Amino acid sequence: MLKRSLILVFAASLAASALAQGSPETVSKIIAEGKGANKTRYTLERITGEFGARLTSSTHLADAQKWAMEQFKSFGCTNVHLEKWGEWPVGFDRAKTGHVGRMTAPFSRDFEFTTASWTPGTNGLKKGPAVMEPKTMADLDKIKGKLKGAWLIKLATPDAKPEDRAKILEAAHKAGILGEVTGSRSELVLTGGRYNIEWGKLPTAVQITIRKSDFDAVTAEMPKGKVELEFDLKQTMRKGPVPNYNVVAEIKGTEKPDEVVIVSGHYDSWDGPMSQGALDNGTGSSVTLEAARLLNLVGAKPKRTIRFILWSGEEQGLFGSRAYVKDHAAEMDKISTCLVDDGGTNYWGGFVGLETQRSFFQSSIDALNAAFPDLPMKFNAVAKMPRGGGSDHASFNAVGVPGFFTMETGVSDYNYVHHTQHDRIEAAINAYLVQSSTAAAVTAYNLACADTMLPREPKTGN
């Protein structure tokens, strides 16, 4: 009797989790193809190998967007297009390879280094002595004859007051230094940059950051004698206005095509000289593309439209997704959810949302846990949808549309890669890419086939 009761309870739980679910046969096909012939790694290799890092406003991103559109079309997606969200006054391009940074005397040492985007390059290989940043204008006057053609070594904690230091650096550049070299606080060098500059007021100072151990090696040798450095920064600025786009593609819904489930990741990245934009966010972009491939390949017929979006401008402030939400304000009531993959190479560990949303995800979680028992997923219920956050889901949550930044789970250290020289394909974990892309396809399909759109928080009227 007890055994029969347990069976009935188990059957009831399966029935509950099966509510608002797509065709089990389609789900099985997605999982079989996702596990057996997954192409996420291949897609990531294409993106990082052919285009490298993809800064918003760069030709690398523009070329990668055209390629992504071709992929979506080849999969069978419809309504594939670029959707403009704005313009920037200056574009920036950094070569994928060929950058040089090293100490050449008293011995050779290659550096790990970066420069801010939207700053000038060296216009060829520039070699010169290392000269320590002077503490005062009087000290600068003493070494003025040594500054032309030299690399100025900037201290992390200078003795000069900020206003005095600015005058010292300005005078050093007028004296003809090649550029400024600063040490990172750690073995990581982080790339950033200010996009909102004017063509008539472009920055002119070459400013380089090298990792701490490289900087320590340089400063340790300087008291002993002559130290020489050389850099070749292959980067240029391009006069705008530069149009910026998101890539959009769809599988049209069969019954409720005006209701939409979004699967997305940001395609843009920072572009340090050693970075490929692989984990931030080539992985999420590749997962989005693979989800589209899987769903088309198995002939999925979702009731709602599944829309795939590769955002841009995310790194500078969620520009692509914020503009999308604003430009499509009249459609927000028809967006069931926006799923965002932007946590690096770790796998989809689940979702954080309202208790009323749990049953909408449970059938997918159950199927994926059965398929990937070593990579478990779960749903964590909270009283309110999370607000804020540094990725594109936040743009949707801000207007009441359920947005999910998946619970990225695994062994990858995102901080080690995030905006650093280590954001390369070697750091991508294939087993996680397989699970994530399969999870994206299954989850999107089931949500698109649910009886209703995903529940939302009650409106307060404010």
pLDDT digits (tens, 9 = 90+) for 119-152: 999 999 999 999 999 988 999 999 999 999 999 9
pLDDT, tens only, 356-404 = 999 999 999 999 999 999 999 999 999 999 887 889 999 999 999 999 9
Count other Cβ atoms within 10 Å, centred on residue 143. Answer: 15
Assigned token pair, 155: 């201290």
pLDDT interval class at 7 (50, 70, 90): very low
Mean pLDDT of the chain: 94
Assigned token pair, 76: 């069978």
Residue 95 has pLDDT above 80, yes or no: yes
Count other Cβ atoms within 10 Å, centred on residue 257. Answer: 15
User: What percentage of the chain exceeds 90 in pLDDT?
Assistant: 90
Q: What angle do CA 418, 101, 315 make, to 5 degrees?
A: 25
Residue 193 has pLDDT above 90, yes or no: yes
Average pLDDT over residues 334-359: 97
pLDDT at 160 (0 to 100): 74
pLDDT, tens only, 242-283 = 999 999 999 999 999 999 999 999 999 999 999 999 999 999
List CB contacts of 269: < 8 A, sequence separation 6 or more.
53, 54, 55, 275, 277, 280, 281, 282, 315, 423
Average pLDDT over residues 228-236: 98
CA distance 377 to 375: 7
Domain boundaries, the chain: 22-93+240-448, 99-233
Please check whether residue 448 is in contact with residue 304, taking contact to mean a CB–CB distance below 8 angstroms: yes
Residue 155 has pLDDT above 90, yes or no: no
* Pairing mode of beta strands 151-154, 100-105: unpaired
pLDDT interval class at 458 (50, 70, 90): confident
Average pLDDT over residues 146-164: 87
List CB contacts of 374: < 8 A, sequence separation 6 or more.
none
* Pairing mode of beta strands 151-154, 126-132: parallel
Write the CA distances from 458 to 231, 387, 401, 402, 405, integer angstroms: 57, 15, 11, 12, 21
From the list 252, 249, 280, the residue with the least C-alpha distance to 265 is 280
Residue 4 has pLDDT above 60, yes or no: no
pLDDT, tens only, 176-192 = 999 999 999 999 999 99
* Token pair 């192409």 in the structure block, residue: 39
The yes/no answer on whether domain 99-233 falls in CATH 3.50.30.30 is yes
Amino acid identity, position 271 = D
Count other Cβ atoms within 10 Å, centred on residue 29. Answer: 17
pTM over 0.75: yes
CATH topology of domain 22-93+240-448: Aminopeptidase (3.40.630)
Rg of the chain over CA atoms, in angstroms?
26
